[in-house]
Structure 1
Amino acid sequence: MGYFWPIRDFGIARYYLSLAPAHRAGKWATAMSHPVEAFGRTIQLFLVDGTPNGLIIASIHGWTGSVLVETQSTFAKLLARPEVDRTGVYILFGPDPKDALSMRAYVGEADSVRDRITQSAGDRGFWEAAVVITTSDEALTKGHVRYLEARLIEMAISAGRVTLDNGQAPSSDKRRIAVTPVISSRLR
Structure 2
Amino acid sequence: MNSTVPFSLRIFVADGDPDGLRLVERSNWIGKAVVFPRALYPTVRNRPEFQQTGVYLLLGPRTDGDGEMLYIGEGDPVRPRLEDHYARKDFWTSAVFFVAPAHLNKAHVQYLEAQLVQRAMRANRIPLDNGNKPAEPTLSEADRADMEVFLHNILGILPVLGITAFEQTSLTPIKANGFILTCQGRGVTATGNDTPQGFVVRQGSYAAHDEVQSLKEHFPGVIKLRADLLSRGVLVSDGNALRFTQDYTFSSPSLASAVVLGRSSNGRTDWKDPSGRTLKQLQEAQAET
With structure 1 as the length reference, what TM-score do the two structures score? 0.70
The answer on 1:131 being equivalent to 2:91 is: no
How large is the Cα RMSD of the aligned pairs? Answer: 2.1
**Alignment-mate amino acid for residue 59 of structure 1:** E
Aligned partner (choices 92, 101, 114) of residue 66 of structure 2: 101
Give 5+ residue unaligned stretches, structure 1: 1-14, 16-34
Q: Check 1:122–1:161 CA distance in 2 against 1; reply closer, same or farther (3 A cut).
A: farther
The answer on 1:141 being equivalent to 2:105 is: yes
Match of 1:79 in 2: 45
Aligned partner (choices 139, 151, 156) of residue 120 of structure 2: 156
Match of 1:30 in 2: none
String of CA shifts for 1:90-131, please: whole Å, max 9, x gaps.
11110111x221321111111110111110232210101001
Q: Check 1:141–1:41 CA distance in 2 against 1; reply closer, same or farther (3 A cut).
A: same
Is the partner of 1:163 in helix, strand or coil?
coil
Is the partner of 1:162 in helix, strand or coil?
coil
The answer on 1:170 being equivalent to 2:137 is: no
**Alignment-mate amino acid for residue 43 of structure 1:** L
**Alignment-mate amino acid for residue 109 of structure 1:** E
**Alignment-mate amino acid for residue 138 of structure 1:** A
**Alignment-mate amino acid for residue 35 of structure 2:** V
Aligned partner (choices 47, 50, 60) of residue 26 of structure 2: 60
Give how far 1:182 is off: 5.5
Give, in whole Å, the separation in 1 of the partners of 2:95 and 2:74. Answer: 13
Return the index of the structure with the highest Cα Rg: 2
Give, in whole Å, the separation in 2 of the partners of 1:145 and 1:83. Answer: 15
The answer on 1:40 being equivalent to 2:6 is: yes
Give 5+ residue unaligned stretches, structure 2: 147-289
Q: Check 1:181–1:48 CA distance in 2 against 1; reply closer, same or farther (3 A cut).
A: same
**Alignment-mate amino acid for residue 143 of structure 1:** A
Q: Which has the higher contact order (CA 8 A, sep 6+)?
A: 1
Is the partner of 1:80 in helix, strand or coil?
coil
Number of equivalences: 146
Percent of aligned positions with the same letter in both sequences? 33
Give, in whole Å, the separation in 2 of the partners of 1:185 and 1:154. Answer: 18
String of CA shifts for 1:28-81, please: whole Å, max 9, x gaps.
xxxxxxx86x32211000001112111011001332211011111221233121
Give how far 1:181 is off: 4.6
Q: Check 1:55–1:185 CA distance in 2 against 1; reply closer, same or farther (3 A cut).
A: closer
**Alignment-mate amino acid for residue 91 of structure 2:** F
Match of 1:179 in 2: 139
8 Å Cα contact 1:103-1:161 kept in structure 2: no
With structure 2 as the length reference, what TM-score do the two structures score? 0.47
**Alignment-mate amino acid for residue 55 of structure 2:** V
**Alignment-mate amino acid for residue 180 of structure 1:** S
Give, in whole Å, the separation in 2 of the partners of 1:101 and 1:88. Answer: 30
**Alignment-mate amino acid for residue 56 of structure 2:** Y
Give how far 1:185 is off: 10
**Structure with a larger share of its residues in helix:** 1
Give, in whole Å, the separation in 2 of the partners of 1:45 and 1:185. Answer: 27
